[in-house]
Structure 1
Amino acid sequence: MAVLLGSDIPTRPATPAAVVTGRPSEGSVHSWDLSTGVDGPGTRFVTFLAGCPLTCLYCHNPDTWRMRNGKRTSADDVIAEAGKYTRFIAASGGGATVSGGEPLLQPVFTGELLHRMKYELGLHTALDTSGFLGARATDALLRDTDLVLLDIKSWDRDTYEKLTGRPLQPTLDFARRLADLGQEVHVRYVLVPDLTDDPADIEGVAAFAGGLGNVSRVDILPFHRLGEAKWRALARPFTLHDTPSPTPEQVAATREIFRSHGLYAV
């Protein structure tokens, strides 16, 4: 992927926030970072927004759950920071990812960031979401998104609600909408022993994802306890403190279930 410069960058109408207010939008930003891994292809400038409607038992960033824990930040500030790294990002075939928390809790701000990352900085864009608030993503926001990183945390409805505190159906509805739009999706599945490792549960997610037609990759993410210290610092009970990470054999078996449905799983 090449970074587009100057007159080579395609033009698009201003984002709704800029049209309505005449100024860049602001949002609650927890942090930003350069990342290489599961935030999309290549090295990426990742903006972590504050606030999330889910309370996942294995969340490694519970400090992003509340919007008040973030810093009020303008879109201009985020774009200026990302702009420092565009050539470095381009060399890796990377881009920019808006993550969280849950970015669709702040859809106007998220939409402006994706739009400007794509059309001002010329970066490949990704939206990292649980899909629970997918109805808040406008068609314009999704047009400015090259890739959606979608967490489908369980197929069993009871397990999903126990794990996240929310129902599964909005995520499935959003996934189907993305398929109808032909939007490229990477599905992420966190493998947690004795919680999301039931083969029938995995089979359900795999069959659903395989039937969508727009899922180009599945990331199997082994559970870890690296965020436990943050839970303690927030005086929250970390109920998975005795849960081990899955074995390599468990991870490999999970990959094979997804691959059996024609999916590229890593």
Structure 2
Amino acid sequence: MGKAYFKQSCGLIAINIVAACGVFTPDQFAGLGKAAQDCDVFRLKLTTRQTVVAVLDEQRVSQLEQRVNDLGLHVSPYGGAVRAVKACAGNAALCPRALGDALDLGIAIQEKYLGQDVPKDVKIAVAGCPRGCTDPLCADFGVVARGADAFDVFLGGRGGGSKPVHGQLLAGKVCKEEVFKLLDHVLERYRAMGLSKERLARTIARLGPEPFHPPAGLLSGSKEQGSADREFLSFLEGKGEQ
């Protein structure tokens, strides 16, 4: 695992900076702006993973990283690592469409798993309702709220490339605690069976989804596994009512 430093065509370095699923305090936001000024950052850019990219001279990189760390932010891990988690503003205090608390769940997932070693970068997305503003079906591990403390978990999505793949339903209507159990299980299986630099979607294409299904006893009660509710999937895929 390395850090997300990328040399640009112009010779400058781009640094990917991670907050709590894209949430900054005012002090962090202002502090990042001041650090960018002090380090002669050329530009700051928001990313689709709810991170911020800073572009600057290579000689100022270590100075900026220290300032970022002092603010309680991080330089993103990159290369065989769990990446920054995407989570929408879905909770009772914010988005009125939210069916469950996606934001706090996403932040908790990121706090536990960010930077963990895996064969190839793992991207996680959490959405508070079937609208899926964070594209959970395009994530390696996607979570969609179905109700209060009830989540559907999708596995093996891949949004990038010329042949994007939608994730398959792994388990339906599981509680928050079981989301973590499923993610622990999936990452353990992926580390054991995934080839070096092989995305999870390709591992599933090679082996099938069965090795990733939760073992007996992992989830409480009867959970939907392996096949999705047709109406719900149609909504997520944009085939239902808009």
Name the TM-score, length of structure 2 as normaliser.
Answer: 0.30
Structure number with higher relative contact order (C-alpha < 8 Å, ≥ 6 residues apart): 1
Return the structure number with greater helix share: 1
